[in-house]
Amino acid sequence: MYDGYSYTMANDIILRFDETSFEFGHNKPILDEVSFSLRRGMKVTLMGQNGAGKSTIFGLITGTHTSESGDIHIGQGVTIATAKQVIPRDQLDLTVREFFEKCFVKKVYDIEPRIDSILEIVHLSAPHDRIIRSFSGGQQARLLLASALIQNPDLLLLDEPTNNLDKAGIEHLTDFLKSYTKTVVVISHDAEFLNSFTDGVLYLDVHTRKIEQYVGNYHDVVKEISARIEKENTQNARLAKEIQTKKDQANAFANKGGQMRLVAKRMREKVEELEGEKVDVRREDKTIRSFHIPSQPEFVGEIIHISSYKVIKNHKPTLRTAKISLKRNKHLLLKGPNGIGKSTLLESLASGHAEGTKIAEGIRVGYYRQDFSTLNFEDMVYDSLIAVTPEWNEMVMRSTAAGFLITGEMMHTKIGSLSEGQKGLVAFARLVLERPGLLILDEPTNHINFRHLPVIAQALHDYEGAMILVSHVPEFVEKVRIDDVLDLEK
């Protein structure tokens, strides 16, 4: 049984997992005798499928979780800080000062100048008495990063740090990490961001529950893993052909009787031997199925008209005029830097309370929020999906869910217990079942496995209703048909 941390380390290894196992509740294993080590100054990506347990590994490192067996060794005096994916809900009503004070166990008397200097590093200016909830998603992402950096840790753990960051924010974070001299472990689905500074990968296999450690940048490792999968598939195909040949021969010899039955028995033993040589091909790299978001079929004419909207300038709302009309099959991209009011505008549009905006009566609005707060975290996944399924058709619901890799045990899991990536897939499944006439999407790439993004982009590209999209990922936007752009900065 794991009973704490060991603080004696060899050489410059600052963290080592030694045959560590962990499960979430009864009969939900996450790690199975995992072993790996990190040296001082390494910059490593932690990869794996949504829900594989990447954030759980961070929890084991920080002591939030306790392993079932094995050991976790941390170097003497090594300090650790984590920039989480989202600000905990119970901290949203704190002031900036209170938020940063919670980063320290003991009272810090020079907290004010520390806050100012760390906010400067993440390119954010804010009064210390401002409430966290009032910041945009992108600004909250910067606050999360700052909350880890202010601790000046020896080991920095970053969980999806580029989510909600605009282009300037991602570039600034990338430059910072390149020059950062301490150890960093990053969970991210942003391939270009990772490739710019990664020198190793920890790969968590969701089926074997083991970690494989690779050296090289992110793209090198992805190629290596792809080559290995191809090799494993080829080997298994060859063995399957040989096995079938031996089975056919064994059956033929067995029918001849006499001494031939002995030959048939040896053939069957050879078949068992060959079956044992087949390897378990990496199965966690599944991609969601291609999908179609049906638009509200019975509606024609103008769906939404925007004559004015508000943006945030110098921390104050400013009214702007516009002349935007969206009918069926019209897609609008909403642009602007973090903090200008994109999410606030989308939320007011989705709720029907946006000043200067009219949504046609009877239009169903499908709203994908970056924090997934349109989902009830207390609901079971099954209940959340069946509630929006036409005529409560369970077969349709389960088929749709399966396309988003939502099956079996996950169906009877509370939404709040899912990983952020899995919540995103549930949100997309709901959109398909809702058949909206107006689709509003706020950063739909956040937390989503990069393998799924081309499939999602194609579905949005083909959507035949009216759509308003916010995304800071240009590679994603390029794959989606955009008919009009509203730049809030201009």
The reported pTM is: 0.72
Instruction: Using the predicted structure, report yes or no on whether residue 35 has a pLDDT greater than 70.
Output: yes
Q: Are 442 and 372 in contact (CB under 8 A)?
A: no
The pLDDT value given to residue 393: 95
Read off the pLDDT of residues 49-70 as tens digits, 9 standing for 90 and up.
Answer: 777 889 889 999 999 999 989 9
Secondary element (H or E) of residue 81: strand 80-83
Q: Are 72 and 17 in contact (CB under 8 A)?
A: yes
Instruction: Using the predicted structure, report yes or no on whether residue 204 has a pLDDT greater than 50.
Output: yes
Read off the pLDDT of residues 403-440 as tens digits, 9 standing for 90 and up.
Answer: 999 988 899 999 999 988 899 999 999 999 999 999 99
Instruction: For residue 470, list its beta bridge partners.
Output: 442
Q: Does domain 5-79+153-222 have CATH number 3.40.640.10?
A: no
The pLDDT value given to residue 40: 93
Q: Where in the chain is the domain with CATH 3.40.50.300?
A: 5-79+153-222, 304-487
Question: Who contacts 349 (Cβ-Cβ below 8 Å, separation ≥6)?
Answer: 304, 357, 359, 365, 440, 468
Q: Worst-scoring range by mean pLDDT, 38-47, 78-87, 225-234, 323-332?
A: 225-234
CATH architecture, domain 304-487: 3-Layer(aba) Sandwich (3.40)
- Phi then psi for residue 254, to 5 deg, are -65, -35
Read off the pLDDT of residues 360-403 as tens digits, 9 standing for 90 and up.
Answer: 999 999 999 988 989 999 999 999 999 999 999 999 999 999 99
Q: How far apart are CA 438 and CA 359, in angstroms?
A: 9
Place of tokens 């309370």: 353
What's the pLDDT band for 279 if we cut at 50, 70, 90? low
Name the residue with higher pLDDT: 280 or 170. Answer: 170
Percent of the chain with pLDDT over 90: 55
The pLDDT value given to residue 283: 55
The pLDDT value given to residue 155: 96
- Phi then psi for residue 271, to 5 deg, are -60, -45
Instruction: Using the predicted structure, report yes or no on whether residue 289 has a pLDDT greater than 90.
Output: yes
Q: How far apart are CA 29 and CA 49, in angstroms?
A: 15
Q: How far apart are CA 28 and CA 179, in angstroms?
A: 39
The pLDDT value given to residue 6: 40
Kindly report the average pLDDT of the chain as a whole number: 88
